[in-house]
Amino acid sequence: MAAAGPAPARSTVSRKPGGGGGAAAGGGAGRGLEVRVRTARKRSHASTLWLNRQLNDPYVQAAKREGFRSRAAYKLLEIDEKKKLLKPNQRIVDLGAAPGGWSQIAAERSGSAEGRGKVVAIDLLEIEPIPGVDFFQLDFLDDKAPDLLKERLGGPADLVLSDMAANTIGHRKTDHLRIVALVEAAALFASEVLAPGGAFLAKVFQGGTEGDLLAALKRDFAKVEHIKPPASRKDSSELYVLATGFRGAA
């Protein structure tokens, strides 16, 4: 296995592979080594490329060392380092939580495992228990989901997180519509459960927050901006929309 760089600093502020601002190649023993995966007869070229990228991704390696459920945990850590979203005693909802990387960070930063905050996660897929996280195996679009989550939180949420991505089929226009529809649904959900002053952070893709969606976010929140954390691969169109200062339900 190739060296992925020095272990991320164990700081309460951030953890970054290589100690830098992005997925930098690491130092130490094995510097510059790269794992190469041969194409198997039953494995497609695309699958081989994906596996090769995973094996040589410093964020993937760091997540394994740190005990995070996924490399996505670093995206939230990096966003939080810059925007200071996560605070002790917060009530937090994690939409589409599986496998649980964002829930882990939310629980750590809010202090929910010590009873100083509350994190409720929801997904159609089951996830392994996480200290300080209450989990519902449920579709967040279910009519009863908002009330269930607010009841478990003990009140309205301070922050709604969504790292969900819509299933795509390779047809650009159809995929775009699915992406926008999912973020719109997450934003509507957030407006039902957030407390005034709350925040909403969601995965989108370039061109995925425009028109009616952007207008709705600007109407409901004091500030709306896009952010691309270093852990989000440079060749990906993925980015995040951050809406802060929720104005309250109409």
By annotation, the residues acting in catalysis are: 203
Q: At what angle do helices 72-83 and 58-66 cross, to 10 degrees?
A: 90
Cis check for the bond before 131: say yes or no (omega within 30 of 0).
no
Decide the pairing of beta strands 91-95 and 133-137.
unpaired
Q: Is 139 annotated as a binding residue?
A: yes
Q: Is 100 annotated as a binding residue?
A: yes
Q: Are 73 and 105 in contact (CB under 8 A)?
A: yes
Q: Is 212 annotated as a binding residue?
A: no
Q: How many CA atoms lie within 13 A of 149 on its CB side?
A: 33
Q: Are 104 and 130 in contact (CB under 8 A)?
A: yes
Q: Is 143 annotated as a binding residue?
A: no
Q: Return the closest-CA partner of residue 70 out of 57, 59, 58, 86.
A: 59
Q: Is 57 annotated as a binding residue?
A: no
Secondary structure tally for the chain: helices H, strands E:
7, 7
Which residues make up each annotated binding site for S-adenosyl-L-methionine? Answer: 100, 102, 123, 139, 163
Which residues make up each annotated binding site? Answer: 100, 102, 123, 139, 163
